[in-house]
Amino acid sequence: MPMAAEGRWLRRSLARCSRNTFPCARSEKDKNMLKIDRRLIAHFDWPLLFAVVALVSVGLLAVLSATHTEERLVSGIFLRQLAWVAVGSVVMLVMVSFDYHALDRYAPLVYVFGLVLLSLVPFFGSLGGGAKRWLSVGPFSLQPSEIMKLAVVVTLASYLQSRVSERSLPTASVLFAGLIAAIPAGIILRQPDLGTALVIVFLTATILLVVGVSWWWPVGAVVLGSPVLPLLWSHLKPYQQRRVLMFLNPELDPLGSGYHIIQSKIAIGSGMWAGKGFLHGTQYRLNFLPEQHTDFIFSVFAEEWGFVGACVLLGLYLFLLYRCSTVVARARDTFGVLLAFGITAMLFVQVLTNIAMAAGGLPVVGVTLPFLSYGGSSMLVCMAGVGVLLNISMRRFLF
């Protein structure tokens, strides 16, 4: 829906919450919500869970196809992704099992914990793809920047809940909310990880815009931000600058910086209507398509399943968006509305960025496709986010 209409819809939900008598003054019964009783099961959002299970299943098939070889169908990457899905499912169940208002109480700790993990990366992080972004935990690697996305959402929801009204947010509140996002985004940008930093900035801007900021904030951001662009450009790594330039015209360097975009578009286009069939894609099997199981998993899927399959996949994401929006609309307290909306924004900023990136509509910035791309940290955070959404939906009548 258009941003203005979306903002009015969200503000109506927030206004309804502020008029309710139950959200802010919960009874003693709320302290006993650690158990799953029949009332919670009755309000469980099964369609939302179905959408996630369907997307995760499609993702496993896509990773299997993108990583298999002639000698070995099941790769180590696929087995690790399967393990991350299992761990993510446990994380989702944990996030469902307790009253989500605990996240409000511990939001500062969640935020500080994320910053501590980020601060450890320069000293103890492992190198991969020319950047230090991961902390090794036994045989697995954890990416703190992924965890920080959810931490920022929780912290923003906790901070803004008492400052939301039908009028615009106070200037001090907007600045402090921006600071909440700017600190981790700046640290992440230095790793360097431009994609995750931009996701944090965009989801924060989306939350602030729909919650209610004066019209001069976006106008002022454009006016004041324009002179800063050359400074930001100078701080980008050379490969990041080349990616932006190649986005404008990839044919300038078809075998170098423009290679990713060109091969991705070839893979998507060669799928035509019905695709080449499962395990029969040529772009990735012949190693023409780089980062095929992470950044360009959509290209792999589109090549094998064609335009029809890509439309079905987009339909699944639209259904997921509809169910997430339903959770936002039904939430009975301000914190629940903001938290659900923030998680929805977190997921779909990534969906739009990744698919546009694969289709050549945006520069290649290294953003994963939720539930499809290979990556343990991404899977854990997405599953945790869904767990919180299910939690909010289940407890909307228990105040």
Q: How many other CB atoms are there within 10 angstroms of residue 227's CB atom?
A: 8
Q: Would 373 be classed as within a structural domain?
A: yes
Say what the pLDDT of residue 27 is: 43
Number of domains in the chain: 1
Collapse the DSSP code of 240 into the 3-class scheme (helix H, G, I; strand E, B; otherwise coil) and give the result. Answer: helix
Q: Using one digit for the tens of pLDDT, what is the confidence trace for 2-12?
A: 555 555 656 66
- Comparing C-alpha atoms, which of 22, 51, 83 is closest to residue 389? 51
Tens of pLDDT along the chain (399 residues)?
Answer: 455 555 565 666 666 665 553 444 344 444 444 455 677 777 889 999 999 999 999 999 999 999 888 788 888 899 999 999 999 999 999 999 999 999 999 999 999 999 999 999 988 888 776 677 888 877 778 899 999 999 999 999 999 998 886 577 888 888 899 999 999 999 998 888 889 999 999 999 989 888 877 766 666 666 666 677 777 777 777 777 777 777 777 777 777 767 878 888 999 998 899 889 888 887 777 677 877 888 999 999 999 999 999 999 999 999 999 999 999 999 989 999 999 999 999 999 999 999 999 998 888 888 999 999 999 999 999 999 999 999 999 987 654
Neighbour order of strands in the sheet with 140-142: 126-128, 131-137, 140-142
Bridge-based pairing of strands 131-137 and 140-142 is antiparallel
Q: Would 268 be classed as within a structural domain?
A: yes
Q: Would 23 be classed as within a structural domain?
A: no
Residue pair 184/204 in contact by the 8 Å Cβ criterion = no
Residue 362's H or E segment, with its range, is: none
Q: Would 30 be classed as within a structural domain?
A: no
Domain that holds residue 342: 3-13+39-394
Token pair 């469980």 is at which residue? 44
Say what the pLDDT of residue 261 is: 85
* 58/268 Cα distance (integer angstroms): 17
Torsional sign, CA 319, 324, 328, 331: positive
Q: Using one digit for the tens of pLDDT, what is the confidence trace for 287-303?
A: 778 778 889 999 999 99
- Comparing C-alpha atoms, which of 147, 138, 140, 127 is closest to residue 80? 140
pTM of the model: 0.87
Say what the pLDDT of residue 28 is: 45
* 282/67 Cα distance (integer angstroms): 13
CA distances from 308 to 53, 276, 312, 322, 358 (A): 20, 12, 6, 21, 17
Q: How many other CB atoms are there within 10 angstroms of residue 119's CB atom?
A: 12
In DSSP terms, 127 is beta-bridged to 132
109: exposed, middle or buried (C-beta count within 10 Å: 0-12, 13-18, 19+)? exposed
Q: Would 33 be classed as within a structural domain?
A: no
What's the first-to-final CA gap in the chain, in angstroms?
A: 30
Q: Would 106 be classed as within a structural domain?
A: yes
CA distances from 71 to 67, 75, 369 (A): 11, 10, 28
Q: If phi over 0 gives left and psi between -120 and 50 gives alpha, with beta otherwise, what is residue 155?
A: alpha
Residue pair 392/272 in contact by the 8 Å Cβ criterion = no
Residue pair 365/243 in contact by the 8 Å Cβ criterion = yes
Residue pair 196/149 in contact by the 8 Å Cβ criterion = yes
Query: CA gyration radius for the chain?
Result: 21
Q: Would 191 be classed as within a structural domain?
A: yes
Q: Would 28 be classed as within a structural domain?
A: no
